């Protein structure tokens, strides 16, 4: 019975940490600038952001083409697509 409480407590702590460290849009833009540099050509970019509370999906859109999708979780970003029409199928469910 105690193992259940330990597991439940540990799970609650992990969920709380994920909620608190969910990166903001400004953090994503800073990450994008550091990794990929400034966009040199005058291009209009939209940023699609889907917040799942514990993590957030970010996808830049340049002239109707989807860029590389990243998942922001625990204060960092993880790449989940290669971009250029490679939009993750599971994100379409939330549009």
The Cα–Cα gap between 94 and 47 comes to: 15
Please determine, for residue 85, whether its predicted confidence score (pLDDT) is greater than 60.
no
Domain of 35, in residue numbers: 2-94
What's residue 11's pLDDT?
A: 93
What's this model's pTM, rounded to 2 decimal places?
0.75
3-state secondary structure of 43: coil
Residue 71: which of 95, 93, 88 has the closest Cα? 88
Q: What is the pLDDT of residues 53-78, one digit of tens each?
A: 899 999 888 777 778 889 999 999 99
The total number of structural domains that make up the chain:
1
What pLDDT digit, counting tens, does each position of 1-55 carry? Answer: 688 899 999 999 999 999 999 999 999 989 988 887 776 655 677 888 999 989 9
């Amino acid at each position: 019975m105690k193992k259940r409480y330990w597991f439940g407590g540990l799970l609650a702590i992990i969920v709380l940490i994920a909620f608190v460290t969910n990166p903001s849009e400004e953090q994503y833009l800073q990450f994008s600038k550091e990794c990929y540099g400034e966009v040199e050509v005058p291009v209009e970019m939209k940023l699609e952001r889907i917040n799942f509370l514990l993590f957030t999906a970010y996808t830049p859109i340049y002239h109707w083409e989807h860029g590389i999708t990243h998942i922001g979780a625990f204060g960092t970003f993880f790449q989940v697509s290669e971009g250029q029409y490679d939009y993750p199928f599971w994100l379409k469910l939330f549009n």
